[in-house]
Structure 1
Amino acid sequence: MTQSPPDQPLRPVPSNVSRTVSRRSMLRGTAIGAGALAIPGALAACGKSGGSSGNSKTVTFGSNYSDAIPKKGIAAVMAAYQKSSGVSVKTNTQDHNSFQENISRYLQGNPEDVFSWFAGNRMKFFAAQGLATDISDVWAGLTGFSDALKKASTGEDGKQYFVPLYNYPWAVFYRPSVWQAKGWQVPKTLDDLTALCKTIKSSGMDAFAFADKDGWPAMGTFDQINMRTNGYDFHISLMAGKESWTDPKVKQVFSTWASLLPYHQQGANGRIWQDAANSVQQKKSAMMVIGSGQIAQSFQGSDATDLDFFPYPVINPDFGQDAVEAPIDGFMVAKKAKDIDAAKALMKFLGSPAAENAYQSVDGGNIPTNSGADTSNFTPFQKKCQEYIAGAKQISQFMDRDTRPDFASQVMIPSLQSFINKPSDIDGLLKSIDAQAKSIFAQDN
């Protein structure tokens, strides 16, 4: 879920990062930041010729929807567009993480006309780099999106560059049937959660399914604990480089997390999130901090009705459970699109209820952002996700979407993986993060 900006020099990796983790992260950061990583052949994009006539019968789409269910959902959307417009969509699907890691090179090279991406800072960064096309004219004809969604699709220059498709809440997901059989109750506070974890561990199960091989899943746990401890405003300020990582408030986040790590699946840095989610589905783990759009992929068929969630428990009563993490996924037009008019025509459709209905017909783990989308067939799970987001007092996007992409990928991925491996050296870790944050965010001043 993270990527580095073009020509961004590699920042130092924390000194206490294990060599295995830091080597992988350094190679990732060096390759992306210095532009040394060759884009896989398929990612080089097979854009068509034909200029911006708007008469093209083909538009190209670069997709990071590589997991089976989201891939089918996107295919349904593009099929609906082809049927309604008579225009063919040539889709180039890449592995989700590889797409993110190569995005800077991709957009500077020969990209597809339209590509899948994320709202907020992730969108703003590439808009500011001049790698995305202004689609304010498309937005002028869109309906069904709230002012908040429009703001999340707007660059620093006040122009729109993004069209949302869906969002989804991060929370604590579990199988109700297992909890009912065990007599476990949903925890309301951190003390409740800790006591429950001890009970679950004594039963022979892992309390939390946990994975961070891909680098981003652990960010969600950090965000949950940080917002419950210090509130939404501090989270946003910290992600913007305006707070010190050596602040006792940040240390408290890691100390709380360290106290819970013994109840998480061990070996998280070597496990992908799908395997962790499957361990909940297989009744090997009791719960998981993840997004609904991810874990729902492991709960299909009859299992789909045995999936529920609760907000991360209260840590600081001053902030309660006010903040909800609900990332927004959608689409952008590349600045180097071969046919801008054809790309904008597709974007207009992607911003319609018809597109969201087509996607939701396949993937029920995400919530459509357009108020005109059909929700009459929503399951109780989908309705609860929708109500949870709607009832939030504040909505965050996710660590690597709320901060600079280079800070997320080059500093926070290896730092959190280091913490998972060695949670005892919190002071050393935070000192390292803080020094790197000051260097990177100095570029914004």
Structure 2
Amino acid sequence: MAQSTSGGHQLSRRSLLRTAALGTGALALPPVLTACSSGSGSGGSGTDSKTVSFGSNAAVPEPKGAYETVFAAAKSATGISVDVNWVDHNTFQQNITTYLQGNPQDVFNWFAGERMQFFAGQGLLSTVDDVWSAIGSNYTDAMKAQSKGTDGHYYFVPFDYYPWAVFYNKSLWQSKGYTAPTTWDEFTALAKKMKSDGLIPIAFTDKDGWPAMGTFDYLNMRMNGFTFHINLMRSGQGWNSPQVKAVFDQWRELIPYYSPGFLGLTWQEGAQQILNKQAGMMVLGLDQIGTIFTGSNAGNLGFFPFPTVNPSYGQDAVEAPIDGFMMVKSPKNHDGAVKLLEYLGTAKAQQIWLGSNPADIATANGVDTSKYTQPQTDAMKLIQGAKQISQFMDRDTRPDFADPVMLPQIQSFLNDPGSISGILSNIDKQAKSIWASNG
């Protein structure tokens, strides 16, 4: 399947898919996946005991190439062939519920946190306790906790993770004499200076919808604290409160420093503004911008933690999403899926992956960190120094709330920053309805 993240077709297609998934369900994801099948191996039929079908959200060149490398290594190590259905990230994520309720592949890419626990609670996943009996020694207690459902069983195998931070081009900053801010006042003063220097101060792009969620998360954690943020994400209570309104009021101060036409730009276009020295800073994940700063540019990528707003909370919390794999409720090749997941849960497999995709950090113990790039090393230090770690809005809250409600409501705010009260009232009503209807 070809991905078109930079074209207008992608946005309209995602809107169509979202409407279908939330409405009549006339457009289901399984046929889309079938049409996008790689066509290799068993074709996902499950008739070949040596083949495991895999649903991937990584249709772009990287990390697709890194997956192809690690799957080839998996075949050599285990004898298991991996038949992949490559689907672009947004389409996969927007339609995951329909996908899991249809005829999904044996194993698929997904995320730790509430997103994993939600589908485990829906009975749409297989436990992977047997996998963990083999890989448990490879992981810290913190990683183990992130891989369990609320029933105490394992449903997730962590593979990589990465921080969200404020990224910049080192050579640009050196030429301008900029230094990393630690407080909000220093941050906005730097943005003002960048603007006077003829730069776009903050490369902000939100055509994809989800990138803006990272800015909300950091502002909320910096202003109201990690506990307030996580309770807001998981309970749906408190959206129409003074604390949340203050977050949007604070956010509004940054909009004059954003990329012109940011609602029509993809995150790749924003990252290119940083690479090309057109913009000074960008709030994004290493997993994304690290795929733009490659080769000779890799060492030129710098970052700093999102600045302090409320000194009571400082820079304690770091947004560090964990990516990995899950097994569907009724895999056609259960034994093969277990073997594949056992392999992917090793430092060896993750080291191979990172050799092709140095935009993440391995989750397993034993990876040779001396082979990390400078951004990877800095990212590891940032995460290890955090007092609290969040997963990202669309992972820390319910899937039927994050994308259908928060994504368009945040875009409405960015399009009309003066409409905060009405937007929060709307979010609050929808949150209460969703939590009341679904428990």
TM-score normalised by structure 1 residue count: 0.91
Q: Deviations over 1:405-443 (max 9, x none)?
A: 111011101100001100011111111111111111223
Q: State the Cα distance separating 1:56 from its structure 2 match.
A: 1.3
Aligned to 1:292: 286
Aligned to 1:278: 272
Secondary structure, aligned partner of 1:286: strand
Aligned to 2:3: none
Match of residue 151, structure 1, among 145, 149, 155: 145
Q: Distance in 1 between matches of 2:436 and 2:14?
A: 22
Conserved? CA contact 1:163–1:332, under 8 Å = yes
Q: State the Cα distance separating 1:24 from its structure 2 match.
A: 8.1
Secondary structure, aligned partner of 1:47: coil
Aligned to 1:91: 84
Q: Deviations over 1:102-150 (max 9, x none)?
A: 2222222221111111111111111111111111111111122111111
Change beyond 3 A, Cα 1:134–1:404: same
Matches within 5 A, 1:112-261: 112-142=105-135, 143-241=137-235, 243-261=237-255
Bigger relative contact order (CA 8 A; separation at least 6): 1
Q: Distance in 2 between matches of 1:23 and 1:93?
A: 20
Q: Deviations over 1:290-344 (max 9, x none)?
A: 0001001111111111101000111000000000000000001111311111111
Greater mean alpha carbon deviation, residues 295-304 or residues 25-34: 25-34
Aligned to 1:79: 72
Question: Is residue 32 from structure 1 mapped to residue 21 from structure 2 by the alignment?
Answer: yes
Secondary structure, aligned partner of 2:291: helix
Conserved? CA contact 1:164–1:330, under 8 Å = yes
Q: Distance in 2 between matches of 1:387 and 1:439?
A: 41
Conserved? CA contact 1:26–1:410, under 8 Å = no
Matches within 5 A, 1:394-413: 394-413=388-407
Q: Distance in 2 between matches of 1:36 and 1:159?
A: 34
Q: Distance in 2 between matches of 1:120 and 1:414?
A: 22
Greater mean alpha carbon deviation, residues 198-207 or residues 371-380: 371-380
Q: Distance in 1 between matches of 2:81 and 2:382?
A: 37
Q: State the Cα distance separating 1:38 from its structure 2 match.
A: 3.4
Which letter does structure 1 place at the counterpart of 2:342? K
Conserved? CA contact 1:47–1:110, under 8 Å = no
Secondary structure, aligned partner of 1:439: helix
Q: Distance in 2 between matches of 1:96 and 1:327?
A: 15
Q: Distance in 1 between matches of 2:32 and 2:19?
A: 22
Conserved? CA contact 2:78–2:339, under 8 Å = no
Conserved? CA contact 2:237–2:432, under 8 Å = no
Structure 2, gaps ≥5 residues long: 1-10, 38-42
Q: State the Cα distance separating 1:28 from its structure 2 match.
A: 4.3
Aligned to 2:426: 432
Match of residue 62, structure 1, among 55, 68, 74: 55
Q: Distance in 1 between matches of 2:54 and 2:438?
A: 32
Q: Distance in 2 between matches of 1:432 and 1:57?
A: 51
Q: Deviations over 1:206-241 (max 9, x none)?
A: 111111111110000100111111110010011113
Question: Is residue 387 from structure 1 mapped to residue 377 from structure 2 by the alignment?
Answer: no
Which letter does structure 2 place at the counterpart of 1:30? T
Q: Distance in 2 between matches of 1:265 and 1:62?
A: 34
Structure 1, gaps ≥5 residues long: 1-21
Secondary structure, aligned partner of 1:266: coil
Question: Is residue 43 from structure 1 mapped to residue 17 from structure 2 by the alignment?
Answer: no
Q: Distance in 2 between matches of 1:369 and 1:39?
A: 30
Q: Distance in 2 between matches of 1:26 and 1:436?
A: 19
Aligned-pair RMSD on alpha carbons?
1.7
Which letter does structure 1 place at the counterpart of 2:29? I
